Copies of this chain bind each other. A is one copy, B any other.
Amino acid sequence: MPGQAARGWAMKHALSVTRQQNFAAWYQEVISEADLAEESGVRGCMVIRPWGYGMWERIQKLMDAEIKKAGVENCYFPLFIPLSFFEKEADHVEGFAKEMAVVTHHRLVGDGKGKLIPDPESKLEEPLVVRPTSETVIGAAMSRWVQSWRDLPLLVNQWANVVRWEMRTRMFLRTSEFLWQEGHTAHVDREDAMKETMRALEMYRAFAEGPLAMPVVAGEKPENERFPGAVATYSIEAMMQDGKALQAGTSHYLGTGFAEAAGIKYQDKEGGQQFAHTTSWGVSTRMIGGVIMTHGDDDGLRCPPQIAPWQIVIVPMLRDDDGDAAVLDYCRELWRELGALSAFGEPVRVLLDTKAAKASNKRWAWVKKGAPIIVEVGPRDVSEGKAAVLRRDRLYKDDGKLNTAFTPKDDFVAQAAGMLEDIQTTLHSEAKARLEANIAREVTDLAAHFKGDEAKFAGWVEVQWARPTGAALDKIVEQLKALKLTMRNTPLDAAPVDGKCFFTGEPAVERMLIGRTY
């Protein structure tokens, strides 16, 4: 893992388990120790705690601005979708079996034995499904809103909770209920709809590489990984520190299929009736899981400054004596000065942590949460006009000691905004280097490359392929499945092809990424 080798000797870290010892257990420990989320006692549903929800609020704020900039308007659609809406969408009702929460009653009553039960009298004539995604219900609305080519493009988005009943859940990565945004758009033709599909994909790529400092590969998913009903599905894929891929956002071109099911028709300029071409695209709280597994280290989370709820935390070192007032005054002045700064075009977010607890405990709590800069101020710092500054991305010196910089206060204030921007860049560069170093392009034997247990860091493999379909594709998917591998996407920025299909030997038409995945 980065950093550890450079320090050259066994560190004692803030967490009880390291990434190398057990990545899955480490992930859970970061979530718990950084107060990001916890189990709720409700199957598959988590409680998102203030530090985790604060990251989501930052993601929402920054992403929402991009969505609005593109002319997309926010709306809100119902949580419940009548069961019959899914019958329209299902190609073959008999083959349909989807994990969704179904509401069947609308009242609770006592059962006469001291327990509550759904009142049998309140059974719904038509069960309602808790939305797993909103294409059907938004399609129904669009069919009312779209009459003429003048009404297109129609661009809407909603921030909402959705539910997909998951058998095996993992916090942020796969939970039964999660928070997301879902964009839904309707267009006059394929060209305009594809433009929007790619705009959303590039918005996600820029967002991941920017505010999340999380490098990704943007590309098209293979046919077998398409969203059901989509003509084309695109994704951004990020590489976690264990080498696995995380699909962190998707954008779908849906053709006219959903428009036909929902009746989204428009009169064209010549007076003819046409079906609209639709798209949908979404990102979710899963992104937070990606940030943890991209930037976390053995001391907890390292939160990218752009999405950190607090970017700088000031911890006063109080001694319950007469000197405390001077320390607090000095801290308040520092808090005011830092709060007047701007970084990333926004005011710097500074917390003065006055909670009643030992200063060293507070320092380590903020290290585990990943606050980008932690500043400690004690009586001596006050008398010397200094502050003890700790950058979360450079926590230790080579000798294993904390890399605290005792800096004149005014110097620190002058450097702070640049330091935040530098931390953001550093986190991105580190992750980018890992991503680039761990895509193997000369692999001839997948089984040998990915040999070993799942914990082995093997990165991704890029192959050239002929984009086979049907039975030929199914066979490849099965082969890969036996190795616990999946195709991730065909990178938009891949080098041109110059060889044969890894699987079929036919002339290759594009490149495909293969890896283990979350």
Binding site for B on A (CB under 8 A): 38, 40-42, 45-50, 53-54, 56-57, 73-84, 86-87, 90, 92-110, 112, 114-119, 122, 127-130, 137, 140-141, 144, 150, 156, 160-161, 163, 165, 177, 179, 356-357
Can you report 5 residue pairs joining A to B where beta carbons are below 8 Å apart?
Answer: A40-B78, A47-B141, A56-B76, A95-B110, A118-B127
Could you tell me the distance between the alpha carbons of A487 and B474 in the complex, rounded to whole angstroms? 69
User: In the complex, A57 Cα to B61 Cα: how many Å?
Assistant: 11
Q: How far is the CB of A98 from chain B (nearest CB, A)?
A: 5
A90 touching B116 in the complex, CB below 8 Å, given contacts A40-B141, A53-B75, A141-B40 = yes
Given A40-B141, A87-B115, A127-B118, A177-B107 contact (CB < 8 Å): no
Complex Cα spacing A446 to B50, Å: 50
Report the bound CA distance from A102 to B121 in whole Å. 13
For the complex, what is the distance from the CA of A119 to the CA of B102, rounded to whole Å?
10
Question: A74, B54: Cβ atoms under 8 Å?
Answer: yes
Cα A129 to Cα B101 with chains together (Å): 11
Asked if B79 and A161 make an inter-chain contact with CB atoms under 8 angstroms apart, the answer reads yes
Q: Cβ of B74 and Cβ of A50 under 8 Å apart?
A: yes
A479 → B minimal CB distance (Å):
30
Nearest 5 interchain pairs by C-beta? A45-B78, A50-B73, A94-B110, A48-B76, A106-B165
Which of B80, B94, B110, B119 meets A177, CB within 8 Å? B80
Residues of B within 8 A of A115 (CB): 87, 93
**Cα of A209 to Cα of B99 in the assembled complex, Å:** 46
Nearest residue in B to A163 (C-beta to C-beta)? Answer: B79
Min CB–CB distance A113 → chain B (angstroms) = 9
Q: What residues on B are CB-neighbors of A93 within 8 Å? A: 110, 114-116
Determine whether the beta carbon of A47 is less than 8 Å from that of B112. no
Q: Which residues of B contact A75 (CB under 8 A)?
A: 47-50, 53
Using CB atoms, name the residue of chain B closest to A175.
B78
Q: Are B57 and A86 in contact (CB under 8 A)?
A: no
Expressed in whole angstroms, the Cα–Cα distance for A290 and B53 within the complex equals 30
A99's nearest neighbour on chain B, judged by CB, is B107
Copies in the complex: 2
Measured CA separation A100–B80 after assembly (Å): 13
Q: Give the residue of B48, B83, B100, B106 whose beta carbon is less than 8 angstroms from that of A106.
A: B100
Which of A48, A57, A108 has the most CB atoms of chain B within a 10 A radius of its CB? A108
Complexed CA–CA distance, A149 and B160 (Å): 36
Instruction: Check B116–A86 contact: CB distance below 8 A.
Output: yes
- For the complex, what is the distance from the CA of A107 to the CA of B83, rounded to whole Å? 11
A77 to chain B, nearest CB (A): 6
B79, A97: Cβ atoms under 8 Å?
Answer: no
For the A-B complex with A42-B81, A50-B75, A98-B107 known, give 5 more contacts whose Cβ atoms are closer than 8 Å.
Answer: A53-B76, A56-B76, A97-B119, A100-B107, A108-B129
The answer to whether A80 and B42 touch (CB under 8 A), given A49-B75, A97-B109, is: yes
Q: Is the CB of B156 within 8 A of A50?
A: yes
Bound-state CA distance A82–B42 (Å) is 7
Alpha-carbon distance between A128 and B108 when the two chains are bound, in angstroms: 11
Alpha-carbon gap, A344 to B70, bound state (A):
26
Whether B150 and A356, one on each chain, are in contact in the complex, defined by CB atoms closer than 8 angstroms, is yes
Q: Which of B47, B104, B112, B140 contacts A94 (CB 8 A)?
A: B112
The residue that A104 contacts in the complex, of B41, B47, B102, with Cβ under 8 A, is B102
A96 to B119 CA separation, bound complex (whole angstroms): 11
A93 and B116 CA atoms in complex are apart in Å by 7
Which residues of the partner chain B approach A116 to less than 8 Å between Cβ atoms?
83-84, 86-87, 90, 93, 96
Contact B114 A41 (CB under 8 A): no
Nearest CB to that of A138 among chain B residues? B47
Are B86 and A97 in touch, CB under 8 angstroms? Answer: no
B100 touches A101 (CB 8 A): no
CA distance A54 to B68 in the complex (A): 11
A33 to B: closest C-beta gap in Å:
15
Residues of B within 8 Å of A53, CB to CB, are 73-76
Q: Is the CB of B76 within 8 A of A179?
A: yes
Considering the chains assembled together, what is the distance between the CA atoms of A356 and B177 in angstroms? 41
Residues of B within 8 A of A40 (CB): 77-78, 137, 140-141
Interface residue from B50, B80, B92, B156 paired with A45 (Cβ < 8 Å): B80
Known: A75-B47, A156-B50. A108 touches B80 (CB 8 A): no
Contact A98 B108 (CB under 8 A): yes
Answer whether A76 and B47 are a contact pair too, CB < 8 Å, given A41-B140, A42-B81, A116-B87.
yes
Interchain CB contact under 8 A, A106 and B110: no
- The smallest beta-carbon distance between A112 and chain B, in angstroms, is 7
Partner of A42 from the list B42, B137, B357 (CB cut-off 8 Å) is B137
Q: A438 CB to closest chain B CB, in angstroms?
A: 34
- Indicate if the CB atoms of A108 and B79 lie closer than 8 Å: no
Residues in B with CB closer than 8 Å to A163 are 79-80
Query: Do B78 and A47 have beta carbons less than 8 Å apart?
Result: yes
- Looking at the complex, which one of B38, B48, B96, B106 makes contact with A99 (CB distance below 8 Å)? B106
